[in-house]
Structure 1
Amino acid sequence: MLRLVVPALAGLALSASAALAGGAPCVTCYREAVHPPVYGTYHERVMTRAPRTLTHVIPARYETVTETVVVAPERRVWQVSLDPYGRRIGCWVTIPAQYETRHRQVLVQPEEIVPVAIPARYGHVAHPVLIEPARRAWVPVGRPVYKD
């Protein structure tokens, strides 16, 4: 009688595991698995410094000019003098012109304001982007799974 009981208990154990797997014998079994999210990288060109304009001032340039100017022009004057005998004698006398050398500053080039354009500076920034969110799925039992 013992020989009949052992095969009957083995059949009960198989039917219990089949019942846990959905009531039928498990031909292809699946289990629930969690797949992690998939991320990619998005590269973006960004401005790191805005364009700007600076002004460069070139100062005025002066030079010293030396010139000879007439202080008193040439002239003729009537001059009366006494001769050796005491008589008065009148003559026209030419007095030469008087000159002086003078120095003065002359503007050669006026002050200039030159605009200097500094272009914008650009760089690249990498942003992580979600391509596929995390998900739960049923996978075959023999297949490797990331996380339960």
Structure 2
Amino acid sequence: MRKIKTLCKGIAVILVAGAMASPAFAGGKSLACYEQRHQPAVYKTVHENVVVRPARVVHQTIPARYGHVTEKVLVEPGRVVARHVPAVTRTIHEKVQVRPKSVGWEWRHVKGVKTLCKVVHPAQYAVQARTVVVRPAGTVHERIPARYAHRTRKVVIEPERTIARHVPAVVKTVARQVEVRPASSGWVKVSGQKRCH
């Protein structure tokens, strides 16, 4: 192609120079004829991927999750206590002999005369109250059960954590024109004698 261009340029220079230098030869017999031809540039559309935003790693913090649980707690443990039970008593009334039957001597006046007489003294009784024990005092061991209560408290269900999240690159397809063959211009020999007249 370069050789053809060089040849064409040389021929064109010679022809132009000859035409300018020798006007007398204008209209003479043509030996060869050439015409100038232009070839436009050839383009084509190509598609290529362009990275709009590169891939990256994003660290995201996920907060902790909490919840509430209700549980049974011991307020007071069970125990055994000794309890004193007092005696059970009651009062009863009964007739008792205060003084037994007896024989004695005593002075009396009989018909105006002081006389010593032997006399019988009957027994004497009285009602007295006394307390009797129905059930004696004692000690009773009593078991007191444990006491419980329900308490609600806050607990961590899932602790706070940081995760790495991959964000892929953003790629965009763009179209652009590329030159396949540049524009060219050259002289081409015309075939046939008729083309030269």
Above 0.5 in TM-score? yes
Q: Which residue matches 1:32?
A: 36
Residue identity over aligned pairs, in percent, reads: 36
Q: Deviations over 1:22-71 (max 9, x none)?
A: xx412542233443333333433322331123345444333322222111
Q: Deviations over 1:53-109 (max 9, x none)?
A: 334544433332222211111223444576666xx8765443332211111122233
Q: Which residue matches 1:108?
A: 157
Structure 2 CA distance for aligned equivalents of residues 108 and 131 of structure 1: 66
Structure 2 CA distance for aligned equivalents of residues 17 and 25 of structure 1: 14
Q: How many residues align?
A: 124
Structure 2 CA distance for aligned equivalents of residues 40 and 62 of structure 1: 63
Q: Which residue matches 1:73?
A: 77
Structure 2 CA distance for aligned equivalents of residues 18 and 34 of structure 1: 31
* TM-score of the pair, normalised by structure 2: 0.46
* TM-score of the pair, normalised by structure 1: 0.57
Aligned residue runs from structure 1 range 1-148, under 5 A: 19-20=25-26, 24-79=28-83, 91-140=140-189
Structure 1 unaligned runs (5+)? Answer: 1-15, 143-148
Structure 1 CA distance for aligned equivalents of residues 185 and 151 of structure 2: 100
| 3-state SS in 1 of match to 2:25 | helix
- Deviation >6 Å, runs of 4+: none
Structure 2 CA distance for aligned equivalents of residues 73 and 136 of structure 1: 112
Code of the residue aligned with 2:26 in structure 1: it is L
For the structure 1 residues 42 and 20, does the alpha-carbon distance in structure 2 shift closer, same or farther, using more than 3 Å as the test? farther
Q: 1:48·1:121 contact (CA, 8 Å) conserved in 2?
A: yes
